Amino acid sequence: MQSSLYVALSGQVALQRRLDTIANNIANASTGGYRAEEVSFSTIFSHAGATPTAFATSGDSYISRKTGELNPTGNPLDIAVQGDGWFALRTPAGVAYSRDGRMHMDNGGALVSVNNYPLLDAGGAGILLDPSAGPPTISQDGMILQNGRQIGAVGLYTIAPSARLSRFDNSSVLTDQPATPVLDFSNNGVIQGMSEGSNVNPVLEMTHMIAVSRAFESAGNAVQSSETTMLDAIKSLGASS
């Protein structure tokens, strides 16, 4: 078996996976609260032959938790997370978590996300505003006041570093471990009148795309070279027999 051919092919599969994630990140560079997708690669050793051979895996993707840039909006219903917390949304798939704090009030007074999912408080209940009481004031600990009267509090949640995140609607995520309500607001909090953008750096992602594309071409050349060498060997062996 010509192991160099299969090593190069495994490299192409891994690089194609990375190209796909980079392209998706660039496409969502302007999506509010979007978390970039990264890929971690590992090596598989084959001991089938006399000499162990290293192959690249296709990679395991994961969602980056780096924060995005905060942008002032002037909208009193827009909120941004300060720290590593997440907003909780009630969805048909269960509770989803998001850093996209662009909220609005529905016809019933509920505070909902851009996709009309109810925003939850620390106890997992929805938040109702008084449509006739004017713009709310939201403090750093998430407390909501209208006309000086407390009407609820925005819930912030932390997700364990070991939890695996999967994408849901818009820029929200689902987690395989329960999230924990934030009780200490010294390092986490809510900022009113701001929204968080994507954590994708378009310039850096374009640089990655160029580098990965070149590596993919190099792997393709290696595949072609291995095929040519194998065909030449078959012709030589066939002629000598």
pLDDT category of residue 216 using cuts at 50, 70 and 90: confident
pLDDT category of residue 47 using cuts at 50, 70 and 90: very low
pLDDT at position 6:
66
**Which is more confident, 16 or 233?**
16
Please state the pTM of the whole predicted model.
0.80
Angle formed by the axes of helices 202-240 and 3-27, nearest 10°: 160
Give yes or no for a contact between 168 and 93, defined as CB atoms under 8 angstroms apart. yes
Q: Rounded CA gap, 167 and 226, in Å?
A: 39
Give yes or no for a contact between 152 and 120, defined as CB atoms under 8 angstroms apart. no
Instruction: Please report, to the nearest 10 degrees, the dihedral formed by the alpha carbons of residues 96, 97, 103, 106 taken in order.
Output: 20
Q: Rounded CA gap, 222 and 30, in Å?
A: 37
Contacts of 36 (CB under 8 A, 6+ apart): 25, 28, 63, 64, 66, 198, 199, 200, 205
DSSP track, 35-62:
--EEEE--EEEE-SSSS-EEEE---EEE
**Which is more confident, 93 or 239?**
93
pLDDT at position 212:
85
pLDDT at position 155:
97
Give yes or no for a contact between 111 and 103, defined as CB atoms under 8 angstroms apart. yes
Q: What is the mean pLDDT of residues 85-114?
A: 96
> What is the chain's mean pLDDT, rounded?
86
pLDDT at position 213:
84
Q: Rounded CA gap, 79 and 135, in Å?
A: 13
List 152's β-bridge partners, or say none: 144
pLDDT in tens, 126-175: 999 999 998 999 999 999 999 989 999 999 999 999 999 999 988 999 99
Give the count of beta carbons closer than 10 Å to the beta carbon of residue 20: 13
Which DSSP state fits 189?
E
Residue 88 confidence (pLDDT) above 60: yes
Residue 228 confidence (pLDDT) above 90: no
pLDDT category of residue 61 using cuts at 50, 70 and 90: confident
